[in-house]
């Protein structure tokens, strides 16, 4: 059964091309991916990403539970601060990557990927031996990501929160578009700056309309998942289900920076040992030298045709006008500037390893 978000009918009315994504009926594009991509890089655009999951964890031991299931050290959070992390599984892979928002010392707000809502809920519940009160508010919550260099200016008339002054990975609650208690954060998945607006479904249409009215002088447009993918890929950001999953090592995926061995968490001993041993493969960014678009699961080979890895994400970069991708390669080929070949229709097509972000 495919789910709709609160504004599915609105997107259909706007002429969006709708596709099933993570169990939801989602807008993939409106005016076209390249146009939408450019709008976010240079102006301001709005993504309806209400398919994402939201949990509230509350209680004296809420932090203890998060510390157990999260790779990062959530004790470093303060009220209004957000942290990126992943949930390790027991076999060396990743349950999901997620965000932790600290509302106060006993209240935390978790944002998880749409395709993993039930899986994450069950996983966290399994480790909740702390009596933490858990609430899944995913089905009641809408989320708009307003992204681009003009986002703060376009939205400022709608709120008393000083948007331009907000630091990266922080959030505030306040009145937004006349609605009380709206959570506004600055985490951004596009690399273009901007804000995420979390509202109750019943206020979604009012807030959406207000954003478009306030943003009209700035050329604001609705943006689909297609441009979200090209934008995040230009930054080298991982997408769960493509670049990381239940079977990928977080250390091979370059997530060592959010893996904190200063505390005990699920599978931390195994991951610590893996770090000491070193990983056999690494997730790298690459740019195509010759023509061809790399796609998920294409083989990566060396100059003599030996398989050395696989592509996890690839696209034609609208900004660079060339093809880029992410993929796992044997560690010997992970150095910046290494020559690799992508097997496209059984032909080796030359590429070069390049450390993301591809677009500065």
4: number of CA atoms within 13 Å, CB side?
7
User: How far apart (Å, rounded) are the C-alpha atoms in residues 126 and 35?
Assistant: 44
- Do 294 and 255 meet the contact criterion of CB atoms below 8 Å apart? no
Nearest alpha-carbon partner for 313 in 295, 339, 301, 292: 295
User: How far apart (Å, rounded) are the C-alpha atoms in residues 80 and 172?
Assistant: 6
Nearest alpha-carbon partner for 240 in 11, 86, 50: 86
- Report the SS3 class of residue 346: coil
Task: Report the side by side order of strands in the sheet with 171-176.
Answer: 171-176, 179-185, 194-200, 141-147, 45-48, 221-223
- Beta strands 141-147; 17-21: pairing state: unpaired
Q: What's the residue count for the chain? A: 360
How far, in whole angstroms, is CA 34 from its chain's centroid?
20
The answer to the question of whether 213 is labelled as a binding residue is no
CA-only gyration radius of the chain, Å = 21
Binding site, residues? 196
- Binding residues for substrate, by number, are 196
């Amino acid at each position: 059964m495919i789910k709709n978000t609160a504004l599915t009918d609105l997107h259909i009315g706007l002429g969006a091309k709708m596709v099933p994504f993570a169990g939801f009926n989602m807008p993939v594009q409106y005016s076209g991916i390249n146009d939408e991509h450019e709008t976010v890089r240079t102006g301001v655009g709005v993504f309806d990403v209400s398919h994402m999951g939201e949990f509230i964890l509350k209680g004296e031991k809420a932090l203890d539970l998060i510390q157990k299931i999260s790779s990062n050290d959530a004790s470093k959070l303060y009220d209004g601060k957000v942290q990126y992390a992943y949930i390790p599984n027991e076999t060396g892979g990743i349950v999901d990557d997620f965000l932790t928002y600290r509302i106060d010392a006993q209240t935390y707000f978790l944002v998880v990927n749409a395709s993993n809502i039930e899986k994450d809920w069950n996983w966290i519940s399994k480790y909740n031996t702390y009596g933490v009160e858990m609430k899944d508010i995913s089905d009641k919550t809408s989320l708009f990501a307003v992204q681009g260099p003009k986002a703060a200016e376009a939205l400022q008339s709608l709120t008393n929160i000083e948007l331009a002054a907000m630091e990266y990975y922080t959030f505030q609650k306040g009145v937004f578009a006349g609605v009380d208690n709206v959570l506004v954060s600055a985490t951004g998945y596009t690399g273009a700056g901007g804000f995420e607006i979390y509202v109750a479904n019943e206020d979604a249409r009012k807030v959406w309309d207000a954003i478009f009215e306030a943003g009209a002088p700035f050329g604001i447009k609705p943006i689909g998942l297609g441009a979200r993918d090209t934008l995040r890929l230009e930054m080298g950001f991982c997408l769960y289900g493509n670049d990381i999953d239940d079977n990928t090592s977080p250390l091979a995926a370059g997530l060592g920076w959010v893996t904190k061995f200063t505390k005990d968490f699920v599978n931390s001993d195994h991951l610590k040992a893996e770090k000491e041993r070193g990983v056999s493969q690494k997730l790298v960014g690459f740019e195509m030298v010759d023509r061809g678009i790399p796609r998920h699961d294409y083989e990566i080979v060396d100059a003599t045709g030996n398989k050395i890895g696989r592509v996890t994400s690839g696209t034609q970069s609208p900004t660079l006008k060339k093809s880029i991708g992410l993929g796992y390669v044997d560690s010997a080929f992970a150095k910046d500037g290494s020559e690799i070949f992508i097997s496209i229709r059984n032909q080796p097509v030359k590429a070069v390893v390049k450390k993301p972000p591809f677009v500065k």
